[in-house]
Amino acid sequence: EVQLVESGGGLVQPGGSLRLSCAASGFTFSRHDMHWVRQDTGDRLEWVSAIGAAGDTYYSGSVKGRFTISRENAKNSLFLQMDRLSAADTAVYYCVRVGSNAFDMWGRGTMVTVSS
Amino acid sequence: QSVLTQPPSVSAAPGQKVTISCSGSSSNIGNNYVSWYQQLPGTAPKLLIFDNNKRPSGIPDRFSGSKSGTSATLDITGLQTGDEADYYCATWDNSLSVGVFGGGTKLTVL
């Protein structure tokens, strides 16, 4: 079964850090571009970051310089290191696979709450 | 403010048809494939349409997509109460090198 399972979310104070992980299974992880997409409390979907199968990385303007995406193909894992967090980063974070030029597989998401 | 513009809500009666629009620019929709997603309450988004007008396996042909210039549309025919959900369009923006989503459209089946 093709599956993406996120972990690492939680409550963090403003200015703090979190590292999200995504465990992939059921497909050849190394062949796919992978993305992080978040959904805020108003249900708006926002693209966050991407890492290509070749390791090229991309970031939204709102997280560039604070977030770092990475992958470990040997462990079928995707990561998002989030630093200098603010309330605006509060959201559900989804790990997403790209297939056929689209986000064809989504995890269930992990909640990140930034609050004092 | 989302890069892609969708109507906040649409509604229609069971059995009827709705069209959801998604407007962008030449740097995103105009030069890239558009995809559409359905998000039922409490669940993750699910791919409905890819490459502007193709359906993944298991998506009924009541759902169809099209693109013209810098706009795309999602049509849903034969509406069912189970279609009540939020619908999002998405694509890549070449000038910003970022993924972009529409603001989402809430479908109500009256």
The answer to whether the CB atoms of A47 and B96 lie below 8 A apart is no
Pairing outcome for strands B105-109 and B9-12: parallel
Return the pLDDT at A43: 87
Return the pLDDT at B2: 85
Could you state, in chain order, the average pLDDT of each consecutive group of 10 residues for chain A (116 residues)? 96 98 97 97 93 95 97 97 97 96 96 96
Other CB atoms closer than 10 Å to residue A92's CB: what's the count? 20
How many residue pairs from chains A and B have C-beta atoms closer than 8 A? 62
* Residues B5-10, mean pLDDT to the nearest whole number: 97
Burial grade of B81 (CB within 10 A; 0-12, 13-18, 19 or more): exposed
Condensed to tens digits (0 to 9), the pLDDT of residues B21-31 reads: 999 999 999 99
**Residues of B in Cβ contact (< 8 Å) with A36:** none
Beta bridge partners of B66: B73
Q: Which of B37, B86, B97 sits opposite A43 (nearest CB)?
A: B86
Is B86 at the interface with chain A, CB within 8 A?
Answer: yes
Q: Please give the single-letter amino acid code of residue A78.
A: L
Return the pLDDT at A106: 98
User: Is pLDDT at B39 greater than 90 in this prediction?
Assistant: yes
Return the pLDDT at B1: 78
Is B107 at the interface with chain A, CB within 8 A?
Answer: no
* Residues B66-91, mean pLDDT to the nearest whole number: 97
Return the pLDDT at B9: 97
Q: Please give the single-letter amino acid code of residue B27.
A: S
Q: Please give the single-letter amino acid code of residue A4.
A: L
What is the SS3 assignment for B29?
A: helix
Return the pLDDT at A93: 98
Q: Please give the single-letter amino acid code of residue A1.
A: E
Return the pLDDT at A79: 98
Return the pLDDT at A100: 87
User: Is pLDDT at B71 greater than 90 in this prediction?
Assistant: yes
The rounded distance, in Å, linking the Cα atoms of B25 and B28 is: 6
* Residues B17-41, mean pLDDT to the nearest whole number: 96
